[in-house]
Amino acid sequence: MPVQNQSWFSSFPEPPQFRRPGPPLYSQLADVLRQQIESGALPPGVKLPNLVEMGKLFGVARVTARQAVQLLVMEGFLTSRQGRGITVSRPLPARPYENMRTSWNAMIKRIEGAGVELLDAADVRRCPLADGWNLPAVLEYRYMRRVHIKDGARFAYIELYLDKAIYDRAPERFNATTVIPVMNELGVNVAKARQELTIGCASPEAARHLRIACGAPVAFVRRYACDVSGRAIYAAAVVHPGDKVRFEIDLVR
């Protein structure tokens, strides 16, 4: 049975601003929905509104909503059946990927010293990213949506969830700079960490905050860190502009 999600639209911090002129509206709408599905905000089995309701929510014509849904059905992200409505596919389509390894300490050095433009923040009980990885959660998280800036470059648009108990140890520091270096300074014990990277196109919302063209190449990174008990104390979904990403990887025989 499909899972009803009455508050699915509240997963968007603010209504997406579509770029006009820009890529076709159905393509931009598909990008927004695809990102929500891949981030776990719209998990497998969730039932979406019908095409008329979806058009009203996003301010687009019904035909535009239908084209976006048809594209995501073709890609395997959505299922649309007569009499049963539109649901997020279960399971989601698998994506080929390159396994690119780095270290937690190397990542700290890359991002420390960056400034932050805080867009939204709240204390929340649920972490959709942890749910997507089937990781045990802590009691409460500090949710933050922000842009990271270093040397004048807006290099990341990020939504993150941090264990509220850790956040409360240094809220001013966490609000002012990148989270992972502050966790390191506080001596937070990270027992396990992982990140996944895929290449895609900037959604209207990410493009607006990163000040890049809608549909421009970007790198999507999903990352988590767990404590010794296996609970997700940090989880983030990050969008990097394509021209701000470079990998230097040693090839080992």
Identify the pLDDT of residue 15. Answer: 61
Token pair 């802590």 is at which residue? 138
- Rounded distance, CA 17 to CA 66, Å? 19
Question: What amino acid occupies position 134?
Answer: N
Map out the domains of the chain with their CATH numbers: 3-88 (1.10.10.10), 104-244 (3.40.1410.10)
Identify the pLDDT of residue 244. Answer: 80
The CA distances from residue 77 to 43, 46, 69, in Å, are 10, 11, 9
- Rounded distance, CA 102 to CA 250, Å? 10
Element (H, E) at 27: helix 25-39
- Rounded distance, CA 61 to CA 131, Å? 33
Would strands 46-48 and 3-4 be described as parallel, antiparallel, or unpaired? Answer: parallel
- Rounded distance, CA 167 to CA 171, Å? 5
The CA distances from residue 137 to 70, 133, 164, in Å, are 34, 11, 11
Identify the pLDDT of residue 6. Answer: 46
- Rounded distance, CA 24 to CA 57, Å? 18
Per-residue pLDDT of the chain (253 residues; tens, 9 = 90+): 444 544 555 555 556 778 777 778 898 898 889 888 887 888 899 999 999 999 988 889 999 999 999 999 998 999 998 888 999 998 887 765 555 567 778 777 878 788 999 999 999 999 999 888 899 999 999 999 999 998 888 999 999 999 999 999 999 999 999 999 999 999 999 999 998 888 888 888 898 899 888 888 899 999 999 999 999 999 999 999 988 877 777 777 7
DSSP tag of 69: H
